[in-house]
Structure 1
Amino acid sequence: MPTNIYTNNYKNTSEQNLIHDLLIESIKFYGMDMYWLPRRSSATADQLFGEDSLASFEQAFLLEMYIKNVEGFEGEGEFLSKFGLEIRDQAVFTVSIKRFEQIDAHRVLPSGASTTPFVRPREGDLIYFPLNGKLFEIKFVEHESIFYTAGTLPVYDLRCELFVYDNQTISTGIEEIDLIATKYKAATTLVGTGSTTVDNDMIEEEANTILDFSETNPFGNF
């Protein structure tokens, strides 16, 4: 038997719009202005390993977001690894779906960029957090954190981790964001000039006089 058409709470458009508007107003009251930086993939992106050394961030869109972390950053925090000190702070930012759709980001992409419409924030995009001046990379976009209230999904939860800069191009036109790339970008490019010697050839030549992988002498002169 179908549901009562007079009391169905999941297809009332006016109620859904009211929920969207109330959440937008709440985020405007208790949230913060942040910048969303869509990632622009290069033609050399490795689809198998998900690596793109030539990715760039050339736009920044101002959006109000709510910070879900109330007691500090989540994640592994600061720890010493075999590569030295690592900081893996994580944060969750909530943004209104309706406000995101108003950006119409796919219409203003740089020429030559992917023409795939931005139907939602994507994994790999960046969020600029102005309180500590850091960039956070979106690791996962949760679209059902508020589960079908009145039959609608009003927000995205952006689960982010502190961005690890890897020589990507960041040129948004916003000085405080672009300075992050300037600060961490390699200052010196090493190039070889003049006559050079290939170390591997020298090592192989020396090894041939020492090593003898024969059946009678598998370990050479040692």
Structure 2
Amino acid sequence: MALNPFFLQGTSSEQRLAQDLINEHLKIYGVEVTYIPRKYVNKKSIIEEVQSSKFDDNFAIEAYVNNYDGYGGAGDVLTKFGMSLKDEVILTISKERFEDFISPFLAAADDGTDASEIILSTRPREGDLVYFPLGQRLFEVKFVEHENPFYQLGKNYVYELKCELFEYEDEVIDTSINAIDTQVQDEGYISTLRLVGLGRTATATAALGQGYVREIFLNNDGSGFTSTPTITFENSPADNPARAIGILTTRANVTSIEKIIMTSAGAGYNTVPKITISGGGGTGAAATCSIETVYNGVIRFNVIDGGVGYGTEPTVTVGQPGAGTTAVGIASVGYAGVDQVVKSIYVSNPGIGYASAPTVTIADPPSMAGIGTFSFNEVIEGSRSFAQARVKSWDQDTKILLISNVGIGSTVSGFFVGENIIGKTSGASYALASHNYEDANDKYNDASAFEINADDILDFTESNPFGTY
């Protein structure tokens, strides 16, 4: 039987009055919270799993706190991984206020495609955040109740947000509100970049000699090597033998010698020296060489100053002889303390025909002088890798940059040593000396400490304390 048309279940004017009264009560008795919508940055296309998300918008809205006797939930829970906080809060917000002042902005970012950063714009969503200023805490919306109270005068007027204390998982939080953004400054997966403040160009000299090894011929690259073999040259009459190292390569699961490169070409040879390849676990490798007994060549490079700030091997330029072949040197970079320097220069080609020692010029490091100050939460980018990350903190004195969200905005998962790290907002720029992508602040990384302490309590070395079965 149809409803009696003379008795309405709620007119539009009655519904309007109810909504206005609710809005007014929320403004009087509520608390101004900040609603922060979640945006999906990257999703797997197969199972729609969210790989990364960000929070970079904020909307102020009044909310009534349903909890009158403190936070709900399990509270502080002691687990084997440490203390876990399970506080919950229930907030009531106006349906009309959300739809009028928040939904239009969310709808503008929701293009209706799978690639959209906003999935649902018409109501609050599970996964969004709410900043609760009374406790200065971030809560995550776990459930949205939209039918309580249940259709008074034929309409619903509020959303009830059931929220749980937010557990940070490396999301990007950049709302431009310092009180919110700094909530997770020391949390998440934090990587350490050591940057170079002042670079310094390395210097070296060349030593000449006669009777040196002119070229090495790798006749058999061998196989089965598990470590670098030793390359030994027969001694020269001048007691100045050539020295070299072997460079290994692996192809089709077979490790062999790719090339042999000299650290010194030796001097005083009047006959071709024998080359012995030993050690390294391999077999079958053999090499011979040719010598130059008449003209001078570069037999060795001497590094005078290793410089500072060399993340990659710099180019080495050797002066030309009056007539003959120009020598070629290859720089090798390593650490001296925390600085990356030119450790040595290999003799790739000694050249021929030098009457006097040539000049040796080593290219400048990527950055001779770092500039600027990185700011919290700004995006940084590598000049060559184009990898991006977010700044957690910057120490101007030690040049230590702590970052998170490594790889955002690109398909590259890390930075290249030697490239410049550039702040997209501050414009700061420094060369990267080294990086450590190990998690610096994972609340679950104390498992080993727990295990060690547990072993001190229960001794399993003699027998099982729980009995044998």
Q: Normalization by structure 1: what TM-score?
A: 0.78
Partner of 1:105: 105
Deviations 1:161-202 (A, max 9, x none): 00001111000111111111323244434349xxxxxxxxxx
Is 1:53–1:168's contact at 8 Å kept on the other side of the alignment?
no
Alignment of 1:92-131 (within 5 A): 92-103=90-101, 104-109=104-109, 113-114=116-117, 116-131=119-134
Deviations 1:134-165 (A, max 9, x none): 10000000001111000000000000000001
Which shifted more, 109-118 or 21-30? 109-118
CA distance in structure 2 between the aligned counterparts of 1:54 and 1:134, rounded to whole angstroms: 22
CA shift in 2, pair 1:71/1:51, >3 Å? farther
CA distance in structure 2 between the aligned counterparts of 1:37 and 1:191, rounded to whole angstroms: 29
Report how many aligned residue pairs link the two structures: 190
Greater relative contact order structure (CA < 8 Å, 6+ sep): 1
Q: Which amino acid aligns with 2:149?
A: I
Partner of 1:135: 138
Tell me by how many angstroms 1:67 deviates.
0.3
User: Which of 153, 157, 162 is residue 160 of structure 2 equivalent to?
Assistant: 157
Corresponding position: 1:144 with 2:156: no
Partner of 2:43: 44
Describe the SS at the equivalent of 2:21: helix
User: Which of 86, 89, 98 is residue 87 of structure 2 equivalent to?
Assistant: 89
Higher strand share: 2
Describe the SS at the equivalent of 1:89: strand
Is 2:86–2:164's contact at 8 Å kept on the other side of the alignment?
yes
Structure number, greater radius of gyration: 2
Q: Which amino acid aligns with 1:161?
A: E
Deviations 1:83-120 (A, max 9, x none): 21000001100000000001222245499843545110
Is 2:43–2:50's contact at 8 Å kept on the other side of the alignment?
yes
Among the aligned pairs, what percent are the same residue? 37
Partner of 2:287: none
CA distance in structure 2 between the aligned counterparts of 1:125 and 1:46, rounded to whole angstroms: 22
Is 2:75–2:87's contact at 8 Å kept on the other side of the alignment?
yes
Q: Which amino acid aligns with 1:80?
A: L
Gapped regions of structure 2 (runs ≥ 5)? 193-435, 439-469
Is 2:106–2:121's contact at 8 Å kept on the other side of the alignment?
yes
Corresponding position: 1:169 with 2:172: yes
Is 2:110–2:121's contact at 8 Å kept on the other side of the alignment?
no
Tell me by how many angstroms 1:23 deviates.
0.4
Is 2:93–2:159's contact at 8 Å kept on the other side of the alignment?
yes
Tell me by how many angstroms 1:54 deviates.
1.6
Corresponding position: 1:180 with 2:179: no
Tell me by how many angstroms 1:2 deviates.
1.8
User: Which of 53, 60, 66 is residue 62 of structure 1 equivalent to?
Assistant: 60
Which shifted more, 116-125 or 17-26? 116-125
Q: Normalization by structure 2: what TM-score?
A: 0.38
Tell me by how many angstroms 1:6 deviates.
1.9
CA distance in structure 2 between the aligned counterparts of 1:140 and 1:51, rounded to whole angstroms: 19
Partner of 1:207: none
Describe the SS at the equivalent of 1:43: strand
Partner of 1:4: 4
Q: Which amino acid aligns with 2:166?
A: F
Is 1:9–1:150's contact at 8 Å kept on the other side of the alignment?
yes
Tell me by how many angstroms 1:8 deviates.
1.5
CA distance in structure 1 between the aligned counterparts of 2:44 and 2:37, rounded to whole angstroms: 16
Is 1:53–1:166's contact at 8 Å kept on the other side of the alignment?
no
Corresponding position: 1:19 with 2:22: no
Alignment of 1:66-81 (within 5 A): 66-81=64-79
CA distance in structure 1 between the aligned counterparts of 2:80 and 2:118, rounded to whole angstroms: 41
Higher helix share: 1
CA distance in structure 1 between the aligned counterparts of 2:41 and 2:98, rounded to whole angstroms: 24
CA distance in structure 2 between the aligned counterparts of 1:140 and 1:127, rounded to whole angstroms: 13
